[in-house]
Structure 1
């Protein structure tokens, strides 16, 4: 069981989104894959992993390439066992070039609160280091740090 469980209300959906953000900001594939079903189905950019093992491999590659990764997720909509999220994250490559990646995710959960399906659409925008907006030590975003709407994103 991975509470909060569906059917979601505004509070439980927002909590599920924040828990996901916290896990992704850990940049720990072992931690992240634990909230997905064994046969989870993803669409992530041009990759279509199926199952925890393939998702783990995708995340391992992702965080080896996307350095200084900081993510903010925001609840967009919810109904029953589904949640729609918008997100942005900032990262740099190994050459020191900074990016802000924007996207949307559609999530579907089992009755036990595990994510069965995750469909993500993501766009990358090169940014100057001076244009960065996400400033906190690597790891969990502090509660007092502005969210996407507060930042005008």
Structure 2
């Protein structure tokens, strides 16, 4: 059986480690890698899209990172209990015309006993920003 420590029930340290692991995976911009943190039948709501399953997660993230270029994300633990974690996040990206955006949002996560996420519900708002307003700068990887 697959597992992805830390496992629930969460304490503050294990919840923070779970949030950091998610941030690291999403910043890889590798849909396959990210999908492995979710149960095979994981349920998602991302903005106005609803879907389930790893194949749908990979398809969604592939589309996302084709249009959200130079994506860079920061996550922050907001709250936790037993097998649930609440996260506040913000990320930046630009579109193919060069317009930069900062996205703000909240996620509600629910985990299976094996530490894989079985539900992810995200609410997100985008704000156009000028390039000089960016907060998240990093070296671009090939």
Contact 1:81 1:108 in 2 (8 A): yes
Corresponding residue number in structure 2 for 1:12: 14
Runs of 5+ unmatched residues, structure 1? 140-153
Q: List per-residue Cα deviations over 1:11-44 (Å, max 9, x = no partner).
A: 0000000000000000000000001001000000
- Which structure's residues are more often strand, by fraction? 2
Corresponding residue number in structure 2 for 1:50: 52
Displacement of 1:138 in angstroms is: 4.2
Runs of 5+ unmatched residues, structure 2? none
TM-score, normalising length from structure 1? 0.89
Q: List per-residue Cα deviations over 1:52-108 (Å, max 9, x = no partner).
A: 111110000000000010000000000000000000000000000000000000000
**Paired residues, number:** 139
TM-score, normalising length from structure 2? 0.96
Contact 1:70 1:138 in 2 (8 A): no
Moved segments of 4+, more than 3 Å: none
Of the three residues 75, 82, 96, the one matched with 1:94 is: 96
User: Secondary structure of 1:111's partner?
Assistant: coil
Q: What RMSD in Å do the two structures reach over aligned CA positions? A: 0.8
Q: Distance in 1 between matches of 2:55 and 2:137?
A: 32
Displacement of 1:49 in angstroms is: 1.3
Q: Distance in 1 between matches of 2:13 and 2:89?
A: 18
